[in-house]
Amino acid sequence: MTGLSNATLHKLPPEVLTPVYDRKSVFVGIAHIGVGNFHRAHQALYIDHILGRDGQKDWGIAGLGIRQGRREEERAEAFHRQDGMFTLTEFAPDNTSTIRAVGSVVRYVSCLDGYEPIIAQLADPAIRIVSLTITEGGYFVDGEGHFRLDDPFIAGDLKREVPESAFGLVTEALRRRRESGAGPFTVLCCDNLQHNGRVAQAAFCGFAEARDASLGAWIRENVSFPSCMVDRIAPSVTDEDIRRLDKESGVDDLMPVYSEDFIQWVIEDKFCAGRPEFEAVGVQMTENVEPYEQVKLRMLNAGHSVLAFCGLMLGYRKVDEAVGDARLIALLERFLNDDVAPLLSPPSDINLAAYAAQVVHRFRNHAVGDQLERIASDSFSKLPVFLGQTVHELIRKGSDTRREAFALACWAECECGKDGKGNPIEISEPAATDEQKAVFKDSNLLAVFDLPMFEGWGIADCQTFREMFRHYRSDIRSKGPARVLSTL
Ligand code: CS2
């Protein structure tokens, strides 16, 4: 098998697509924080296409790794050994695939060498966009849109001379840029949040204002924070996947990624320091992202979560297996079409019935075989974004909420660590404290609704919903999830 680096590009097997541009002629113009699977299967691919176009060579990506740990050590080593390249395999539903060596990440700066080089990279006047995928829970913004300055991680970073959080690093870089005259850059949040640009603005400005009021005001005035909707299913990559993908590609890649062939990016056109020719590679530029993001988060992401909780409870581990079960398909389709769709005001180019059918079709993609445990993880951060508004509106309208109550009952049972057959499930909840996780084992089955994540759902005042949820949870335990599902 051939290793992956600039020197070996011409030796890769012919079925592996390689950059159509000369990587040596690319300059860095984007810095990205959080170079995980999703970024590499999504934004890095779009930029790879951009770099192949005339006059677009100054939009290369500098990947920034800001979280210490074993994963960072592996990633930094792989980026270093492979000159920033990795293979991406995109699987179509008919199991055909396209394999490509993505070349857009032309530099990688790791915190393992300290945080100063990261700040220096961000402060480099060549950087005109700083994009981020730091997860839904990574912004420390509460339901009212306030940055949580009292969070110990944030409070600690505010005191550090050399900061380590995304907010601290960007703030310090902007301070230097203001001083040197290099000017602002655009901060582009690429996480699954509603009005993610506004959330990012609240977080970055909140941090900066606490550090230095005049700098905070300058950032508010000069830095743009466009919202965007990102969409592509990119599963976690296990060691076994690495072996499988490398065998298929014939490339000895330390960090291959894989995904579905579907991809979408809708961005609010608000860039304070210039931007690539996004339209030329299929990105939709718009004045208003909100209707797109509402559809995506409340249908695809929420549908994913509903399927994950109920599928796990029935004993499945993969998305394509779960949608192979007619009972779960029926649940998912009714959730999408009967519960969520009537609440949405989609943009004119989206037909919701067709969108729902496409979501189901995407979930059926066998080669993608996404992990239900991955999707169920971090629900403390995800559920308020994906499902909160839907439940709130259904309750307010007095509509049928059986499927939502059942999905949440399955979720609460999943969080107890076992599926409906008694087999272990592993769901990680990085945003939850141990005390919060203990509510799932409470003999009061309704104790979960006291968690702060349920603020604003309308459940506290809805006896019908609470009763239904309690009932479902206890029936799942006594009769099994399949019996309960058959009553919906
Ligand atoms: C998933 C998303 O993690 C989740 O909850 O629903 O990662 C999903 O695969 C992507 O948002 C698809 O764009």
Long-range contacts of 234-241 (CB under 8 A, 24+ apart): 234/37, 234/38, 234/40, 234/41, 234/42, 234/258, 234/259, 234/260, 235/37, 235/259, 235/368, 235/369, 235/370, 235/371, 235/374, 236/37, 236/371, 236/374, 237/37
Q: How much distance in Å is there from the Cα of 235 to the middle of ligand 1?
A: 9
pLDDT in tens, 171-187: 999 999 999 999 999 99
Q: How far is residue 21's CA from residue 30's CA, in Å, rounded to a whole number?
A: 17
pLDDT band at 82 (very low <50, low <70, confident <90, very high): very high
Token pair of 95, please? Answer: 């199991």
Q: How much distance in Å is there from the Cα of 375 to the middle of ligand 1?
A: 7
Token pair of 120, please? Answer: 């220096």
pLDDT in tens, 423-442: 999 999 999 999 999 999 99
pLDDT at 467 over 90: yes
pLDDT at 194 over 90: yes
pLDDT confidence of residue 488: 87
Element containing residue 132 per DSSP (H, E): strand 129-132
Query: What are the φ/ψ torsions at residue 274 (nearest 5 degrees)?
Result: 85, 165
User: Do 2-286 and 290-486 share a fold?
Assistant: no
Q: What does the pLDDT average to over 189-211? A: 97
Which has the closest alpha carbon to 273: 163, 172, 177?
A: 177
Q: How far is residue 481's CA from residue 383's CA, in Å, rounded to a whole number?
A: 21
Across the chain, mean pLDDT equals: 97
| Burial tier of 334 (Cβ tally within 10 Å: 0-12, 13-18, 19+) | middle
pLDDT band at 54 (very low <50, low <70, confident <90, very high): very high
Q: How much distance in Å is there from the Cα of 301 to the middle of ligand 1?
A: 6
Mutate to test the pocket of ligand 1, among 39, 231, 236, 301 (most ligand atoms within 8 A of CB): 301
3-state secondary structure of 15: coil
pLDDT at 106 over 90: yes
- Give the amino acid at 1: M
pLDDT confidence of residue 4: 98
Q: How far is residue 194's CA from residue 199's CA, in Å, rounded to a whole number?
A: 8
DSSP state of 301: I
Measured in whole angstroms, the distance separating CA 119 from the mean position of its chain's CA atoms is: 24
pLDDT at 445 over 90: yes
Q: Can you tell me which atom of ligand 1 is nearest the CA of 374?
A: 3
Q: How much distance in Å is there from the Cα of 199 to the middle of ligand 1?
A: 18
Q: Give yes or no for residue 293 CB within 6 A of ligand 1.
A: no
> Rounded to whole angstroms, what are the CA distances from 447 to 64, 142, 412, 439, 468?
40, 21, 10, 6, 14
Mutate to test the pocket of ligand 1, among 39, 228, 300, 378 (most ligand atoms within 8 A of CB): 300
Percentage of residues of the chain with pLDDT beyond 90? 98
Which has the closest alpha carbon to 310: 452, 481, 173?
A: 481
Q: Give yes or no for residue 304 CB within 6 A of ligand 1.
A: yes
Q: How much distance in Å is there from the Cα of 37 to the middle of ligand 1?
A: 11
DSSP state of 283: P
CA geometry: angle 250, 41, 384, nearest 5 deg: 140
pLDDT band at 191 (very low <50, low <70, confident <90, very high): very high
CATH class of 290-486: mainly alpha
pLDDT at 143 over 90: no
Q: How much distance in Å is there from the Cα of 295 to the middle of ligand 1?
A: 13
The dihedral built from the CA positions of residue 416, 134, 289 and 144, taken in this order, carries a sign that is positive
- β 251-252/2-3 pair status: parallel
Please report the DSSP string for 31-91 in residue order: EEE---HHHHHTHHHHHHHHHTSTT-TT-EEEEEE-S-SHHHHHHHHHHHHTTT-EEEEEE
Token pair of 388, please? Answer: 């909160």
Report whether 222 contacts 184 (CB < 8 A).
yes
CA geometry: angle 310, 315, 318, nearest 5 deg: 80
Would you list the domain boundaries of the chain?
2-286, 290-486
pLDDT confidence of residue 327: 97
CATH number of 2-286: 3.40.50.720
DSSP state of 199: H
* R_g (Cα) of the chain, nearest Å: 23
Q: What does the pLDDT average to over 53-64? A: 98
- Residue for token digits 């466009």? 226
pLDDT confidence of residue 144: 86
Q: How far is residue 424's CA from residue 172's CA, in Å, rounded to a whole number?
A: 44
pLDDT confidence of residue 169: 98
Query: What are the φ/ψ torsions at residue 132 (nearest 5 degrees)?
Result: -140, 140
pLDDT confidence of residue 395: 98
pLDDT in tens, 373-420: 999 999 999 999 999 999 999 999 999 999 999 999 999 999 999 999
**Protein residue with least CA distance to atom 8, ligand 1:** 233
Q: How far is residue 184's CA from residue 165's CA, in Å, rounded to a whole number?
A: 19
pLDDT confidence of residue 435: 96
